[in-house]
Amino acid sequence: MSDSAYLFLGDSITDAGHLWEDDPRMLGRGFVRKISENKNFSSSRLINRGQDGFTSADLLRLTRRLSDLDTYDCITVLIGVNDLSVGCYADPAWIPDKFYQNIRELLSLIRSSHKKRLLLMEPFLFVPPAEHLHMLPFLKSERHILKKASEFFDAEYVPLQTALDDGVQKHGMENITVDGIHLTDTGNQLLAEQWIKQFARPV
């Protein structure tokens, strides 16, 4: 896969400080870096376009400015956790209405030029903290929207929550997530393993 190119789009979970480290590849400290360290992808070109704080609307705006979507062998999208705060505290109609609209427009935009593999990764959340309990119904709605969209746009839906919850049972919450949203080094490794597992499946 030395000549392959992979684009990763998302929020802070994808971003993982990729613009702030002394790293010419600008991969960050998260799951994108973990994927790059796998022997099957160590010589591939990985592009991290994650951005801290992004919602689905922000990601849509960014993607509209990208003119090279057709050059990638695979595009990965992980988005939704920041939309939960908008839906829970600011605009109850954001989920499902606006999130649905943004995801459909985002995937339509990607598919207008990118005809190869497209991976939609499942947004995830941990409890505690207790306030996340209020977000769980919105999270369930997001997942439903993403699953349906993956079918319509010929994308691959990548479940994450179960694998991460299993990691919590095995390693303890504090060894998987730092705040109920962002991942530790071990958590990022688990996420990367789910991506690699999905990518290895024949299409």
| 55-74: burial string, b at 16+ Cβ within 10 Å, e else | bbbbbbeebeebeebeebbb
Number of domains in the chain: 1
Q: How far apart are CA 150 and CA 143, in angstroms?
A: 10
What local confidence, expressed as pLDDT, does residue 2 receive? 59
Q: What is the side-by-side strand order in the sheet with 45-48? A: 45-48, 5-10, 74-78, 117-121, 156-158
Give the pLDDT score at 97: 97
Structural domain range at position 152 = 5-199
CATH code: domain of residue 36: 3.40.50.1110
Percent of the chain exceeding pLDDT 70 equals 99
Q: Is it the case that residue 21 has pLDDT exceeding 80?
A: no
- pLDDT tens digits for range 141-183: 999 999 999 999 999 999 999 999 999 999 999 999 999 999 9
